[in-house]
Amino acid sequence: MKPVNVGLLGLGTVGGGTVNVLRRNAHEITRRAGRGIRVSCAAARDRPRDCNVEGIRFSRDPYSVVDDPDVQIVVELIGGVELARELILRAIANGRHVVTANKALIARHGNELFAAARARGVMVAFEAAVAGGIPIIKAIREGLAGNRIEWLAGIINGTCNYMLSAMREEGREFDEALAEAQRLGYAEADPAFDVDGIDAAHKLTILASIAFGIPLQFDRLHVEGIRYITRTDVVYAEELGYRIKHLGFARATAQGIELRVHPTLIPHRRLIANVDGVMNAVLVNGDAVGPTLYYGAGAGAEPTASAVVADLVDVVRVLTSDPENRVPHLAFQPDALADTPILPMEAVETAYYLRLQALDQPGVLADVTRILGERGISIEAMVQKEPAEGQDDVSVILLTHRVREGQMNDAIQHIERLQSVTAPVTRIRVEGLGR
């Protein structure tokens, strides 16, 4: 049988990795797919960087790839939203199947793209969009299809995890750790997407949809990045038996779904707390299976290419199947998606790590504990540190029991108004991640 022709948009980190993996593993891939898979044409703005493009028609015009009559599958690896959306919609209109690693695009426009793809009877596959090389989409969409998913928690941004690990293990500064993540090809074109939590929010949007059967709702997430995490907090958390991880968290409650991305203290005995560097991990709790953990490289050329190529094999395997009988894009049948509300952050309940800077004088702790007590917030642990050399304020670290975010916001406002408190309170949420 003739090989399937792929048109590749983008020959950067992931595009180059995809060309290399398809070439190196051509024999194994053909045995799995039942047909060869070859990149027949590709587009980038400049000449390709790190791959061998022999035998691939190169163009600087991405539309020439989506309009090429010989291409059966378009792989979008240019990133960004507007141009990628236009190109994919055009590929779908041309009757091409699509594979993409573009989480920003899927999180923001996936509902539109999937509707267009269904109408045209083609597939849009996006395994590489979440957690790089970990086949987490397939695991939740297919492997856990018998479960009611109760919650999931993921380290889903390799750049943030790499940076937090470098800060903890090597005492690196924030900017230095970010520059290294960029050099290694982990960071987004605009690294603010990584460090401000937006990239993780894109991925959590996708995970929550396939886990709970809800439409993609990126705008409803609570999103925080890692800019406010200092090495001091990393060290104090460690002393209390926790690791700080940038976590995406989604939980189904009786009132609605929690969807949030923020730095989180996790007990260091949990496996997921020990996931370091660029590695990602997603912990999924299903009612039947219990907790399951998926671990692997979350970014980088070939780990991501691994997921892109797996999608290509999946598409090739079902090229001739009835479109009605394919795995639905969002795991649930399109007419069975639920309108479960997303909870506002004020209604979310969690435990907290608080770090206060306060004058070292009598009565300060009494004021703080009174404010917390009046709001029903109970303290699990409290540590006061020696003042640093030449300073007259001290760090006070508190771990609280679970409380609603709204109550905690109110308490923090009152604590920050105390004369003796000298700086804004650092608040990091704590999750036990037990069953």
- Under the rule (CB under 6 A), what is the footprint of ligand HSE? 132, 157-159, 186-188, 194, 199, 298-299
Residue nearer to ligand HSE on the CB measure, 107 or 187: 187
Task: Determine contact, residues 265/237, Cβ cutoff 8 Å.
Answer: yes
Q: Give the whole-angstrom CA distance, residue 92 versus residue 111.
A: 14
Half-sphere exposure at residue 406, Cβ-oriented, CA atoms within 13 angstroms: 5
Q: Give the whole-angstrom CA distance, residue 367 versus residue 69.
A: 73
Q: Give the whole-angstrom CA distance, residue 17 versus residue 11.
A: 8
Give which of ligand HSE, ligand NDP, none residue 159 binds (C-beta under 5 to 8 Å, depending on kind).
ligand HSE
Q: Is 11 in the site for ligand NDP (CB under 6 A)?
A: yes
Q: Is 304 in the site for ligand NDP (CB under 6 A)?
A: yes
3-state secondary structure of 329: coil
Q: Give the whole-angstrom CA distance, residue 281 versus residue 153.
A: 8
Query: Cα 271 to the chain's mean position, in Å?
Result: 18
Using CB under 6 A, which of 7, 79, 135, 154 touches ligand NDP? 79
Nearest-approach distance from CB 294 to ligand HSE, in angstroms: 15
Q: Give the whole-angstrom CA distance, residue 177 versus residue 199.
A: 18
What does the angle CA 403 – CA 410 – CA 235 come to, to the nearest 5 degrees? Answer: 65
Nearest-approach distance from CB 233 to ligand NDP, in angstroms: 27
Q: Is 128 in the site for ligand NDP (CB under 6 A)?
A: yes
Q: Give the whole-angstrom CA distance, residue 429 versus residue 433.
A: 12
Nearest-approach distance from CB 160 to ligand HSE, in angstroms: 7
Which residue in the shown chain puts its C-beta closest to ligand NDP?
12
Q: Is 82 in the site for ligand NDP (CB under 6 A)?
A: no
Residue nearer to ligand NDP on the CB measure, 112 or 287: 112
Nearest-approach distance from CB 298 to ligand HSE, in angstroms: 5
Kindly name the residue from 2, 203, 245, 385 that is annotated as catalytic.
Answer: 203
Using CB under 6 A, which of 6, 39, 71, 78 touches ligand NDP? 78
Name the pairing type of β-strands 97-100 and 124-125. parallel
Closest CA to 202 of 101, 316, 339: 101
Instruction: Tell the burial category of 30 from Cβ atoms under 10 Å away from its Cβ (0-12, 13-18, 19+).
Output: middle
Nearest-approach distance from CB 154 to ligand NDP, in angstroms: 14
Residue nearer to ligand HSE on the CB measure, 159 or 209: 159
Residue nearer to ligand NDP on the CB measure, 125 or 273: 125
Q: Is 248 in the site for ligand NDP (CB under 6 A)?
A: no
3-state secondary structure of 23: helix
Nearest-approach distance from CB 140 to ligand HSE, in angstroms: 17
Neighbours of 52 (CB within 10 A): 11
Q: Is 302 in the site for ligand NDP (CB under 6 A)?
A: no
Nearest-approach distance from CB 159 to ligand HSE, in angstroms: 3
Q: Is 154 in the site for ligand NDP (CB under 6 A)?
A: no
385 is known as an active-site residue: no
Q: Give the whole-angstrom CA distance, residue 253 versus residue 209.
A: 15
Using CB under 6 A, which of 265, 299, 372, 398 touches ligand NDP? 299
Task: Determine contact, residues 429/264, Cβ cutoff 8 Å.
Answer: yes
Residue nearer to ligand HSE on the CB measure, 158 or 286: 158
Q: Give the whole-angstrom CA distance, residue 324 versus residue 344.
A: 36
**Tokens 């036990």 identify what position?**
432
Q: Is 309 in the site for ligand NDP (CB under 6 A)?
A: no
**Residue ranges that bind ligand NDP, judged by CB under 6 A:** 10-15, 43-46, 62, 77-79, 83, 101-103, 128, 132, 185-186, 188-189, 299-300, 304
- The residues annotated as belonging to the active site are 203
